[in-house]
């Protein structure tokens, strides 16, 4: 089974596919991944297909459509490196 990797620029408030929660739960599979930079933080997520946990951004994000038990689970978050001014 091949997993998909998604990119995002925003976490929630999904009005297009630049939002993590925009992706339809019916299109997501257990283990799918997503990466993005939001407000100078790098985030990585994976789909847990039978989580059913309550949404609590940024740690747990539920798809806005057909979520069922699928949740985006935060795998890591790091500040984006900003080089010192020259």
pLDDT, one tens digit for every residue, the chain (86 residues): 579 999 999 999 989 999 999 999 999 999 999 999 999 999 999 999 999 999 999 999 999 999 999 999 999 999 998 888 88
User: DSSP assignment, residue 52?
Assistant: -
Instruction: Give the predicted TM-score (pTM) of the model.
Output: 0.90
Q: What is the DSSP string of 8-25?
A: ESBSSS-SSTTBGGGS-G
What end-to-end distance do the CA atoms of the chain give, in Å? 48
From 12, 49, 43, select the one nearest 29 (Cα to Cα): 49
CA 42 to chain centre: 11
C-alpha to C-alpha distance for 25 and 45, rounded to whole angstroms:
14
């Amino acid at each position: 089974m091949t997993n998909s990797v998604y990119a995002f620029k925003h976490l929630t408030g999904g009005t297009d596919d630049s939002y993590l929660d925009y992706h339809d739960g019916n299109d997501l599979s257990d283990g799918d991944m997503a990466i993005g930079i939001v407000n100078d933080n790098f985030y990585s997520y994976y789909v847990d297909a039978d989580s059913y946990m309550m949404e609590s951004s940024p740690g747990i994000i539920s798809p806005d459509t057909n979520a069922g038990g699928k949740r985006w689970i935060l795998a890591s978050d790091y500040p984006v490196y900003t080089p010192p001014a020259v």
